[in-house]
Amino acid sequence: MDALDLRILERLQHDARISNVELARAVNLSPSPCLARVRALEEDGTIARYVTLLDAKKIGITVSVLVQVTLEKQIEPALEAFESAVRERPEVMECYLMTGDADYLLRVLVPDVPAFERFILEFLSRVPGVGNIKSSFALKQVKYQTALPLPLPAQPQKRRKGRKN
C-alpha cells in the first residue's frame, strides 16, 4: 500500500458516495487507474464494505450504554456461547473481549431506559454463564468517528544545508 492508496482510502472514509471521477481528481490521478486501485483495495479486503451511517437520535435511538460483563467461568465454551448470543442482538453495536476486571465490554444503543431494562432482563441476564453485569449510561457523546486513523505516508527527507568538512 502506497501513499496514493492511503489518500484514496482517506477520501473514501469521509465520502463513500464520491464518484470515481471526483475521487481521481481529489487524489490527482486519472479515473481509470483510480478505479483500478479502488477495485484492488476491495478485492484484497482493505475496503471491507460500504455503509450508510444514520443519525441515531433522528430515528429515536437516544440511550447509549456501556456494559461490562463478567462470566462465571472464563473457559472457551462459555466465551463462545456468550459471543454467539451477543452477535445476534442488533442493539449491541460493539463487543470486546477485555483484560482487567470485566471479561467483555459492550456498547448498547436503545431507544429508552425501559428498552435497556428489557435487554438486561430478557436477554443478557439469561445468557448462560453470565455472572455479573455493570452498566454505565453515556450522558453525552463527545466524539464519534468511523474513519480509521490511517498511517501517514513516509515523507522524503529534506537535505540539510550546512558546511562540508
Q: Which CATH number covers residue 60? A: 3.30.70.920
Q: Can you give the length of the chain in residues?
A: 165
Q: For residues 26 and 6, what is the distance between their CA atoms, to the nearest angstrom?
A: 12
Rounded to 5°, angle at Cα 18 from 14 and 23: 95
Residues 68 and 113 grouped into a single domain: yes
Residues 27 and 63 grouped into a single domain: no
Residues 36 and 105 grouped into a single domain: no
Residues 10 and 77 grouped into a single domain: no
pLDDT value at residue 129: 95
Residues 32 and 72 grouped into a single domain: no
Instruction: Confirm whether 35 is domain-assigned.
Output: yes
Mean pLDDT of 152-157: 63
Count of domains for the chain: 2
Q: Which CATH number covers residue 36? A: 1.10.10.10
Tell me the three state secondary structure of residue 153.
Answer: coil
Residues 27 and 88 grouped into a single domain: no
Q: What is the pLDDT of residues 58-70, one digit of tens each?
A: 999 999 999 999 9
- Is-contact 40 50, C-beta < 8 A? no
Q: Please determine, for residue 164, whether its predicted confidence score (pLDDT) is greater than 90.
A: no
Please state the φ and ψ torsions of residue 26, each to the nearest 5 degrees. Answer: -65, -30
Q: For residues 86 and 94, what is the distance between their CA atoms, to the nearest angstrom?
A: 9
Instruction: Confirm whether 146 is domain-assigned.
Output: no
Residues 82 and 60 grouped into a single domain: yes
Domain assignment of residue 19, given as a range: 3-43
Residues 63 and 127 grouped into a single domain: yes
Q: What is the pLDDT of residues 7-56, one digit of tens each?
A: 999 999 999 999 999 999 999 999 999 999 999 999 999 999 999 999 99
Q: For residues 161 and 163, what is the distance between their CA atoms, to the nearest angstrom?
A: 7
Q: What is the pLDDT of residues 95-135, one digit of tens each?
A: 999 999 999 999 999 999 999 999 999 999 999 999 999 99
Residues 73 and 7 grouped into a single domain: no
44, 52, 108, 118, 139 from 18: Cα distances, Å: 21, 13, 31, 41, 34
- Is-contact 70 103, C-beta < 8 A? yes
pLDDT value at residue 152: 72
